Structure 1
Amino acid sequence: MGTDFEVTMDEYLPLRDVVFNTLRRAILRGELKPGERLMEIQLANKLGVSRTPIREAIRKLELEGLVLMIPRKGAEVAEITEKNLRDVLEVRCALEELAVQLACERIDEEGVKELRDAGLHFKEVLDSDDITQIAQADEAFHDVIFTATGNSRLIQLLNNLREQMYRYRIEYLKKKECYPILIAEHKEILDAIAGRDKERATRVTSQHINNQVDTVVDTIRHKDE
């Protein structure tokens, strides 16, 4: 069982919700891996809680499709499926295409500088071999674009989708051969937005996301062979 995830206590949330959020985040970030069994006693000991909130959290995770209950085996983390991947990234593509179009219209010089700095930071952390840090830097690059839209509803929708995307982002970033492509795509997105070229920004963003789909689908299919 993965041991890297941590519980973050929140005085405003019931314990069962804290446990649920902790396990959900660990699954989405790949700290609890697809196919990994969720042992109530081990999880309770790790998080310093009783088995009851663990059991309640597992039930809620099953409803979200992140956990499967296997007869005579118990709970395990659901595998990443091609259908779920495509569902999530189709929505992401539509929202991010809108985001780059609005960013082309509304970004200011400070925003362009922030986006350029975020792209450089992403390039720097690729040498760290820390997938979580790399994923966070990738998110930070896109966050600058979302902020530049000035559309709070769009930002909220993208933030709501963030954790569902994170699971697939982690899978993609495990492929180091994709890093040069990512760097080039980030630069193209930056150049298009800085040049206020909506058509180019939309095209490159779509390509950026579709490359992620193709890579993760290939990973899924090879696992199934």
Structure 2
Amino acid sequence: MSKPGQQVISRLRQMILSGELESGQRLAEIPTSEQLGVSRTPVRIAFRNLEQEGLLTKLSGRGYIVRQVTQLEISGSIEVRGVLEGLAARQAAENALSAAETEELIQLLKQGDALFEIGTINENDLTKYHDINQRFHQIIITASQNPAIVEALSRNEHLPFASVSALAFDRNNLKQEYRRFNFAHMQHHAVFDAISKGQGSRAEAIMREHANATLGYAKTFSQMEKSGDKMHIIQSK
């Protein structure tokens, strides 16, 4: 996917997470592209991807609609992902990585190191991290040699914030975002170390914790619900 397309997806996710996009609000390509200052193409791509993630409902005519979801929906889908990816990491450790898989994972870790070594992060960095993160997870899932995990993850990814690609980025809190993504990258180092050493139980535990770090989204929804404020998300049929 193009960088503009990925950045628009991330920005829309954050707008949803912050409540800027309200429940029942209709979204259309032209107004959204004007609001974000981009062409219609990346907006169209973003809408389609968010629909696939379970964050967007396509209307029978044109456009999409936003609806509210609960923190239980988010936490449930993320916990399931943690179980599945934890199993994948354990089986990858038990199977042993191939030389090609090992080399590519090492290169991805080096790319991440270079990304975070300057001590700050921006939207362009997030786009790079998205690709690194997605490929890192894909290799581990493939290394599990378990087609059932692939199928189960594919189904689960249609739920809100369950996909490993469902990253949101708060441009108003760059220090926090740097800490969050740098910590996730350090977890990549830890799970690779465990898999490389054949430590299946350790690899599984780290990968489950890695997925559950995303539960911060669900906690945000929970806090908003308790305070009586509104938090909204786009969801598919």
Fold conserved between structures, TM > 0.5: yes
What's the offset of the Cα at 1:151?
A: 2.5
Query: 1:155 aligned to 150, 155, 176, which one?
Result: 150
Q: Aligned to 1:170, what secondary structure does the other structure show?
A: coil
Residues 1:193 and 2:190 aligned together: no
Amino acid corresponding to residue 141 of structure 2 in structure 1:
F
Tell me if the contact between 1:122 and 1:141 (Cα under 8 Å) persists in the aligned partners.
no
1:109 paired to 2:109: no
* Residues 89, 203 of structure 2: 8 Å contact kept: yes
Q: 2:130: which partner in 1?
A: 135
- Give the structure 1 partner of residue 186 of structure 2: 184
Alignment partner, residue 118 of structure 1: 108
- Paired residue secondary structure (2:208): helix
Q: Does 1:86 align with 2:75?
A: yes
**RMSD of aligned residue pairs (Cα, Å):** 3.8
Q: Which runs of 5+ in 2 are unaligned?
A: 34-38, 172-176, 228-237
Cα 1:191–1:139, aligned 2, differ >3 Å: closer, same or farther?
Answer: same
Q: Deviations over 1:166-209 (max 9, x none)?
A: 48841378722213321221111000000010111011112212
Give the TM-score normalised by structure 2.
0.61
Tell me the alpha carbon deviations over residues 60-105 of structure 1, each in whole angstroms, 9 at most, x when there is no partner: x6xx673499xxxx96423563112112112101211110111012
Percent of pairs with identical residues: 18
Show the counterpart of 1:13: none
Separation in 1, partners of 2:220, 2:26: 24
SS at match of 2:181: helix
1:14 aligned partner: none
**2:218 alignment counterpart:** 217
Aligned residues: 186
> Are the counterparts in 2 of residues 97 and 206 from structure 1 also a CA contact under 8 Å?
yes
- 1:10-44 C-alpha deviation (Å, 9 max, x unpaired): xxxxxxxxxxxxxxxx76x5536422533458379
The aligned residue for residue 42 of structure 1 is 30
Q: Deviations over 1:119-174 (max 9, x none)?
A: 22233345453233322221111111011122233223334444642488413787
**8 Å Cα contact 2:72/2:218 also seen in 1:** no
CA distance in 2, matches of 1:115, 1:160: 25
Q: Distance in 2 between matches of 1:100 and 1:205?
A: 7
SS at match of 2:26: coil
- TM-score, normalised to structure 1, is 0.64
Q: Structure 1: which 5+ residue stretches go unaligned?
A: 7-25, 49-53
More helix per residue: 1 or 2?
1
2:231 alignment partner in structure 1:
none
